[in-house]
Amino acid sequence: MSLSLNASDQSTQRLKEFAEGNETFQQTYFKKHEAQLLNLVKEGQNPRALFIGCSDSRVIPDLIIQSNPGDLFVIRNVGNFVAPYKPDEDFHSTAAGIEYAVTILEVSEIIICGHSHCGAIEALFKTTCDTSMVHTAKWLTLGEKAKSMALLALGSNAPKEDLYRATEHLSIVTQIENLLTYPYVKKMVEEDKLFIHGWYYDIETGAIEYYDPDTYQFRPLSELGD
């Protein structure tokens, strides 16, 4: 069985736009910041934070907080979910990233960032599921606890959009709970060497909220520290 990987004319045109973008990047941003970028090669990375976000193409971590190369170690997956700690030898992409960021890079901050209009969260409320999408179906179960909490708080007859927004927020909290099942994460948090943050990005306004564990509420990120 052979598989052709040659791009069609239409595909080539789409990729050409990316190629032109890379040329622009080299001639503008890279040239302007060349010393800084080459220093990251020489000295290696020392990111300030691990950022766990959604794979949604509308949510670009470095763009929404205007961070620089080297500032964030980024993990992106469907729904910005964190599976509970499971110490076996299976493939665990997100867990491997967390392990590397915490134990090797020694980040001091972990940000779990959810967002509005999240397709993963909306999928939790669909009555039908494509049974051929076995990996997606399994992964989405990580959002079920947040969905149940939203239904309990608002009721099953609440407007769908209200349920979606509530579940998006609650999922951030439940993913933090899952993150704390990682022994090395929990240990460093208890020693005040690692700090975990829950963020919610509104794709309609560009604003970010943070979870305040003292009030159990999400507040504008601009109020952080007030």
The string of pLDDT tens digits covering residues 106-147 is 999 999 999 999 999 999 998 766 668 899 999 999 999 999
Extended beta strands in 16-105, E state: 49-54, 72-77
Alpha-carbon distance of 187 to 142, in angstroms, equals: 23
Q: What is the dihedral of CA 185, 190, 194, 197, to 10 degrees?
A: 90
Percent of the chain with pLDDT over 70: 95
Extended beta strands in the chain, E state: 49-54, 72-77, 109-115, 195-201, 208-212, 217-220
DSSP-derived 3-state class of residue 109: strand
The string of pLDDT tens digits covering residues 32-85 is 999 999 999 999 999 999 999 999 999 999 999 999 999 999 999 999 999 999
Q: What is the mean pLDDT of the chain?
A: 94
pTM metric for this prediction: 0.93
Record the tokens describing residue 23, joined without a space. 């040329």
CATH code assigned to 46-223: 3.40.1050.10
